[in-house]
Amino acid sequence: MARVDFKLHGSCVALPTPFRYGTVDFLALEALCHRQIDAGTAALVPCGTTGEAPLLSLDEHRRVVEATVSAAGGRVPVIAGAGSNNTQTAIDLARVAEKAGAQALLCVTPYYLKPTQAGLIAHFTAIHHAVSLPIFLYDVPSRTACPMADVTITRLAELPRIVGLKDATGDIPRVKHLRRRLGDGFRLLSGDDATQAAFRRAGGDGCISVTANVTPALCAALHKACDRHDDAEIARLEAILSPVHTAMFLESNPIPVKRALYRLGLMVDGLRLPLTPLSAAADVQLAEVLKTVMPLEEQASRRAVGVGHRVVRPRAA
């Protein structure tokens, strides 16, 4: 059976889940979505690691996806996280996301349990057969201790609705290897901000980015420069974005990105345990990065936003 053709290209964003007084702040989430789309972001990805998905109830998961879909309004696709190390839980999350209106799913490898490659195939096949949405596999062994072999990805890509991979390994030579195996129709997305330009040059289609939360217009511009093969512009934008990439991982994601968005006046930096607030020393580093990069993001945003679009302007850090 032919693979579903899910067209996706460019800078996508891994959205955080805003919390205010311990509950989801849906107004802040809506504003984040509008800001992303207006800046040129190609897809919204709620309920992933950045969205603190393991700390959301099933009902919160549903409502976050619904709110993201509503804010997107069909302008860009919503790729909802539906990952768990419990296959039945992953299926439940996938079904909830499908009913909530998501256009695709992002499913991570089962963490902690360390299944075999045969177990990975069985896990993702079960999710695939339980829903009708396209599915992006997510390989992030630094978090899951469960790497996905290339041959496993190739086997799973035989299923018609396994349409792509978010690859957070940072292994750039792997991109060309997978492209040869899987063809041009399989979407290869970086999950490693620092190497996303190299990933694109190697044949990748885009990036699901944490950094794009802070600098959506600059991240979108980077991918447009990759499309044009504009090496000078790629180098310029990489130099601007590199300190932001570093700042986003001063501590465990999403701690720094939530603090950054708080500093920009876009949300409260509420977290759920076991995540705790950004340390004072890291916060000082983050503030310095924002002070330098946000004027450049503002310039890029003005170029990206057309007449009549809603503009959500962050305040100074």
Residues forming the active site: 138, 166
Three-class secondary structure of residue 185 per DSSP:
coil
Distance from C-alpha of 83 to C-alpha of 127, rounded to nearest angstrom: 10
The answer to whether 54 and 93 are in contact (CB under 8 A) is no
The single residue listed with the structure tokens 């998501």 is 102
- Look up tokens 């000078």; give the residue: 232
Query: How many angstroms separate the CA atoms of 172 and 52, rounded?
Result: 27
| Amino acid, single-letter form, for residue 250 | L
User: Whole-angstrom Cα distance, residue 53 to residue 311?
Assistant: 28
Helix or strand or coil: residue 18?
A: coil
Contact 161, 185 (CB under 8 A): no
Backbone torsion region of residue 114, taken as left when φ is above 0, otherwise alpha when ψ lies between -120 and 50, otherwise beta = left
Residue in the block written with tokens 């511009």: 221
Distance CA(165)–CA(177), nearest Å, equals: 13
Tokens of 273: 């345990």
In what helix (H) or strand (E) does residue 189 lie, and over which residues does it extend?
strand 187-190
Cβ–Cβ under 8 Å, residues 152 and 121: yes
Query: From the CA atom positions of the chain, what is the Rg in Å?
Result: 18
Indicate the DSSP class of residue 267. Answer: S
